[in-house]
Structure 1
Amino acid sequence: MDKERISRLIARKLSGEASPTEIQELDAHLRAHPEDAYFLSILDDYWTMRTPPPAADDAEARFSHLLEMAGADEEAPQPRVRYLRRAIAIAAAVTGLLAGGWLYTRYSSQPPDTASAALIETVAKPGAKSRLLLPDGTVIWLNSGSRISYPSSFSDTSREVEIEGEAYFEVTKDPKRPFIVRTRDMQLQVLGTAFNVKCYPGDHKTEATLISGMVQVSRAGSQEAPVLLHPHEKVIISSNEDVTESKQETQRLIVQHLKKSIADTSLVETAWVYNKLVFDGEDFGEITAEMERWYNVTITIHDPSVARYRFHAKFENETITEVLSAMQLSSPFTFKINHNEVNIYK
């Protein structure tokens, strides 16, 4: 039985949602693999012993809270801690699996003068997208190849997270504790809102798109006044080092207005949250970066003219072969796929 199936069965058993057939299937597997039975018993202990926060009234939220508590337990014996860390690594995938993806979570120490003694870092592997529930009730969708770090418990004055890659936030409102998102190029401060942040290491720009509420955006390390973003606006900060210093102040931070007639599910900036791959005039070179993360492949375009092709399309459940075949109908090119390597030719 593969890990996805095991994790799903364990999650359903803990939440009380498993059918008799699923329970029989899980029991048969655990009899054959006692190491997974011990893993289940540890999680079951925490499931029954720990009380979820008031907002965690559904199975997935309860399981997320379970993982937070288990990872922060400093009193557990060392053998149990060792198994707990293994459990967290697998069970974090369960939480993501319920939303269609795999996660890798790890815990590390911070200096003693910081607000929290434990820093949680969660990574969505290439080809996967997952959903997180933070300690304050904020919900985050993490796109493939992205990572986020945050303290195991927020301070009394602020809630700060750091993101690399792409994430969509639905922030729980808390006027006494502003929610702060830090990226390579920008800092966002909100009270309660929905927005998308994109800042992959290989990109030459960082984007923040506001869906609802209000967001205050400032450039990292800059003393200039922050920009107040309104719904259906996007701010772009370019990190192109070729821009001259004299033009840098006027060209690096740009605010764009999005079409309000387009639903959030079809916006290029947020369609990925709804498991849709949308192209809206981007060239092939830009599109390949999205497709590499989406399908966990490496794409090489061997003709510069092909890299300049622009596409308008929307996909949901298509394979990479089906996507490329559909794109061929509008622009002439050929492709070859060898395992995880894709080569594009004229």
Structure 2
Amino acid sequence: MSSQELIQLLERYAAKQTSVEEEDRLVELFSKDQYKDIILGFLEKHWEADTGTRLFPQALAEEKAGSLFSLIAVAAHEQGQQKKAKTVFMRWAVAASLVLLAGIGWIYQNRAGLATDSANQQKLALLEDVAAPVRSLAVLAADGASRFPMQEYKSSAETSAGYEVREANGKKILDYSKGASASQTGVGSQHELINPRGSKQIILYLSDATKVVLNAGSRLKYPSYFAATERMVELEGEAYFEVAKDKTRPFRVQTGNAVIQVLGTHFNVDTHDQQNRTAVTLLEGSIKIVKGADDNILYPGQKAIIATDIDIVREADTTQAIAWTNDLFNFKGMELKEILLQISEWYDVVVMDIESLPEMKLSGIISRDLPVSKILELISMSSGLQFKIQGKNISRIN
């Protein structure tokens, strides 16, 4: 196929004018190296015009999306090796993969003979709506008594309590690093940052300059400044850590069922689980996970699931683990119930009778800025299930 013919086929595909045979041919071409530059060039030109908000069944994802993810990953790796605007390129590569995902989702919906647009509109008429969070509702509890809502602080507001509150790129930042002093002795007073359900994530810099991104429905306890011998925090919920290196003071994260010990590294911790499990995903460095008499070392690209024992996933999806820090849901290969649990935390809604829902896996990458009705619409189109929203409750209606 010539370059011009491929571009014309891609244009028809983007306009949803291709036949089933042409779609099969296009999926085949995605995996061929000789067409890589043409396809990626087309995506670079068009990605901003596509929302990338399609969900599709995991079975189809495994069948046809593998080569597409590989194509993006290889291109990103090559660009990274050449050290050419790596951050910008990775942002584009993710967006390009969204375009690919959107296309596969559309193919599935049309082939499966799912509901027509008019029928979908009738479904949506049953829905109220819950908007995505637009600001942080986090509250700082100092010394177990005083509470300070973060949204009441103005941008660049400084305090006299050893921390600063500011805003950048629409996110609140609570920063203790500028108030830290070498003359401080002992350990600082106990503080707790509480980020409720239905709140945008908040960024915290601890006194040692460790960066913590705290997700909705999460809370972190920490001292206003660390002791000279160790750094200890307690987490409930989910947080992403970029720990400042300090060989003389190990950094420890206490969760409900384990202790994570590091010297300086990047990792994600998630305790949002109905089965009281903790998931730890490591991006950089190494960490030790201790549970009772059991301990394990985790290396980059690995994930630990901590329950009664510590189970290690040797090849984890680190991009999926931290998608929330980039304002994305990444539901690749995820159980429907787990998807709905993430939705409930972000939108502060209750999914009724969640245990009665069927077992199924879906895949998709979706903006967390969408209202909840749009997420449910995508789930409905891919799963055949229908939902309604009443106030803060989501329930299945078929």
**1:175–1:102: structure 2 CA closer, same or farther, 3 Å change rule?**
closer
**1:185–1:164: structure 2 CA closer, same or farther, 3 Å change rule?**
same
For residues 69-116 of structure 1, give each alpha carbon's deviation from its aligned partner in whole angstroms, at most 9, with x where no partner exists.
x335xxxxxxxxxxxxxxx9xx85x55x7553699xxxxxxxxxx943
Q: Which amino acid is the alignment partner of residue 178 of structure 1?
A: P
Q: Which amino acid is the alignment partner of residue 270 of structure 2?
A: K
Pairs within 5 Å for 1:117-156: 117-128=188-199, 129-156=201-228
- The Cα of 1:200 is off from its aligned counterpart by 3.2
Q: What is the aligned partner in structure 1 of residue 261 from structure 2? A: 189
Q: Which amino acid is the alignment partner of residue 161 of structure 2?
A: G
For residues 46-86 of structure 1, give each alpha carbon's deviation from its aligned partner in whole angstroms, at most 9, with x where no partner exists.
xxxxxxxxxxxxx96xx5xx44xx335xxxxxxxxxxxxxx
Looking at structure 2, the residues matched to 303 and 270 of structure 1 have their Cα atoms a distance apart, in angstroms, of 26
**1:302–1:156: structure 2 CA closer, same or farther, 3 Å change rule?**
closer
For residues 105-147 of structure 1, give each alpha carbon's deviation from its aligned partner in whole angstroms, at most 9, with x where no partner exists.
xxxxxxxxx9435101001121221111111101100010100
**1:286–1:302: structure 2 CA closer, same or farther, 3 Å change rule?**
closer
For residues 260-318 of structure 1, give each alpha carbon's deviation from its aligned partner in whole angstroms, at most 9, with x where no partner exists.
xx6x5xx32111111111112222222221110111111114783x3423211111132
Structure with more relative contact order (C-alpha pairs < 8 Å, separation 6 or more): 2
Question: Where do 5+ consecutive residues of structure 2 fail to align?
Answer: 1-133, 138-151, 175-184
Looking at structure 1, the residues matched to 327 and 264 of structure 2 have their Cα atoms a distance apart, in angstroms, of 24
Question: Does 2:305 match 1:253?
Answer: no
Looking at structure 2, the residues matched to 132 and 123 of structure 1 have their Cα atoms a distance apart, in angstroms, of 11
Looking at structure 2, the residues matched to 184 and 232 of structure 1 have their Cα atoms a distance apart, in angstroms, of 23
**1:99–1:258: structure 2 CA closer, same or farther, 3 Å change rule?**
farther
Looking at structure 1, the residues matched to 324 and 221 of structure 2 have their Cα atoms a distance apart, in angstroms, of 21
- The Cα of 1:161 is off from its aligned counterpart by 0.5
Question: Where do 5+ consecutive residues of structure 1 fail to align?
Answer: 8-38, 44-58, 73-87, 104-113, 240-251
Alpha carbons 1:181, 1:187 under 8 Å: kept: yes
**1:151–1:276: structure 2 CA closer, same or farther, 3 Å change rule?**
same
**How many matched pairs?**
239
Which range moves more in the overlay, 180-189 or 275-284?
275-284
Q: What is the aligned partner in structure 2 of residue 100 from structure 1? A: 171
- Larger-Rg structure: 2
Looking at structure 2, the residues matched to 172 and 303 of structure 1 have their Cα atoms a distance apart, in angstroms, of 41
Looking at structure 2, the residues matched to 140 and 236 of structure 1 have their Cα atoms a distance apart, in angstroms, of 21
Question: Does 2:344 match 1:292?
Answer: yes
> 3-state DSSP class of the match of 2:377?
helix
| TM-score (structure 2 length as normaliser) | 0.54
* Identical columns (%): 29
Looking at structure 2, the residues matched to 333 and 139 of structure 1 have their Cα atoms a distance apart, in angstroms, of 40
Q: What is the aligned partner in structure 1 of residue 359 from structure 2? A: 308
**1:99–1:203: structure 2 CA closer, same or farther, 3 Å change rule?**
farther
Q: Which amino acid is the alignment partner of residue 233 of structure 1?
A: Q
